[in-house]
Structure 1
Amino acid sequence: MTEATDGAREAQWLKWRSVADLYHAFFTGLILTVVTRRGTADAAEFVFRVFRRQQQERFLPGLEKLGLSHLPPAVAAAQYHYLSNWIGGVHVEYMYETDRKAWIRYPPPRWIWRGTAICGVPGEVSRAMLRGWHANNGVALGNLKLGFVCTKQSVDGQDGLEGYYCEYDHPLEIDARLKFARHLEAPSFDPATAPALPVVSWPKPRLEKAYRNYAMEYVKTAAPVLVQVFGPEDAGYLLHLTGRLIGMQYFDEIARSFAANRGSAREFAVFLHSLLEAQDDTAGIDDSGGVFEIRQQSWKLMADVGDYHPACARVLEGLFEGLAAGCGRHIPVHLKPATGGRPPFVWSIG
């Protein structure tokens, strides 16, 4: 492999990581938007639905993909969280105690509540994440004896989110599948004893793409869930507002990977075209007398979402409008009406 080829791949991976950062910020921002615009109870319900849906769609296939299906239930569940989150760039620790008890710990800084966002997340919203996913792993495995015990929550001022999977001697009722034991503390993490991905089946290019997809898939889940929980009008408003805010805040950070600068509609159109390609969407760009059109042929992220609603496209509208505002003042971005709210999307810029 030549040095030029290596450089091109590194540049591509840098773009993928910037796409991940953008979608990561959108997902965290969306939760905060729901907290501030709809209140803690609605935000907790939303987060519960997002993580339960992800758990139902990805936990069992993920166990197979990661080669963990043969392990005891508590160990398999804990190792799944360790490896799957590690792929996404999340700080995470795993500690084996017995075949029926295994710990997982997310030390600071927390990935999901990046930066100062952690100050705006109520404890109830964090608990909803655990109810949605961790507490349901035993059900997914067909083992109603498996539960999760949370010993710390970082949003409550403790030094991380941690707890352990425990296989009891009896089936657990629904309200007993998630327990709290704040008087306990996880054992120390030893990286030498932690599970590792097989290098042969997880080479660098696959890991880089998985890193990008990890963040994007939170938005893939969150947008349709928001529509189903709050309805298209309210959800569309929340998705659009979040996108505008995140786009404005993150343009400078994201643009660096694309060698893009603040400036004109032309510069923004070139940047947006590259951004779409970096998220695996096919797009063409046309210059018609100072007004640029980008024809987005696909939206791969949402292509296989069974309950997709046109309101989900407000994610892109908000993000692109916000990014344009970050690029420069008075760069209008308009989405022309799309049949059924699906691609092709035609974006008018300038």
Structure 2
Amino acid sequence: MLPPKPLAPRKGRGAVSNVQGRYEVNGREDFDDGWVHDDDEESGPAAFKTHVTDEHAKTILSRNASPDIPFNVSLNPYRGCEHGCIYCFARPTHSYLGLSPGLDFESRLFAKVNAPELLRRELAKPAYVPESIALGVNTDAYQPCERQFGITRRVLEVLNECEHPVGLITKSSLIERDIDIIGAMAARRQACASITITTLDPEISRTLEPRAAAPARRLRTIRRLTDAGIPVSVSVAPIIPFVTEPEIEKVLEAAHDAGAIGAHYVVLRLPWEVNPLFQEWLQAHFPDRAQRVMNRVREMRGGKDYDSDFSMRMHGEGVWADLIRQRFSKTVERLGMGSNGSRFAKLDFSRFRKPLVVPPAPGKKGGNIAGQLDLF
């Protein structure tokens, strides 16, 4: 058996392999069986097509008690994300489906087609207490398949109808489609948005987050949202030493010039399968600095590739982590930008009203009027 050849990137994909998920029973190992010809290598690895499967979810709101996250409730209309960001902390969740957090995560997607109905039923519960919902956390709510399914827009329609606060997090320009809804909610202090900008370099962005909007396009999105009266913050995440780290100040300045009024950052996180996937990406795209990058990551993680402790997982520890914090804080202060997390706290949920029409639970016929009991 010949030794495996170095992994090569696939055009339009972030991961360079389908690394085995930690819950898979059968192991996999790459090897060269001799059937690959030179002309095949020139054309690059085979393309991975995107497949989206309808999913009828049982629940739609996720709750967390993490002290380092500025929201307690989130809603994700999709599983997996075609943007293909190699650093995505949500990649390991595909392991629960028996799929790979690698190429499967960005090509085998699931659309929660009943999300709006589930949300209506959740908001109609007598014990429901409103608080800001973060829309699009684990996977981007405005990834390409949203153009076809429109689940995010229908979720926003429910929240707008109920005057329920929402914070949107995305790196897609598709959010501009929903300015009519988000703008109306923002006028009532019930909506804000955060646009992620990792780098201003289109070449780096094309490999780091291959199917997300280009950096210049995201800046225009900030401007369009701001002009519509929607408060926008910029998420400088993740900060990758020697890759995106040199641009911290430039990203903040560009976002501020585009209209962003808040900012926050996260240093590179490598939980579970994200670690080997990111290191494969480094070897494929930045082999000359791969070791330097990982050495610096470990320096900010107490000598480990990753530390999940709440007190340091977002920003790291040590001299380099402190230097990044100072650079970020001083630039934000100089530009007069505020904290991104405070945006959620300032949203108004005092006008919340339960939905008038509630779809029936599975197995029941007809719908209910909120606050009215079933007769049968």
TM over 0.5: no
**TM-score, length-scaled by structure 1:** 0.28
**TM-score, length-scaled by structure 2:** 0.26
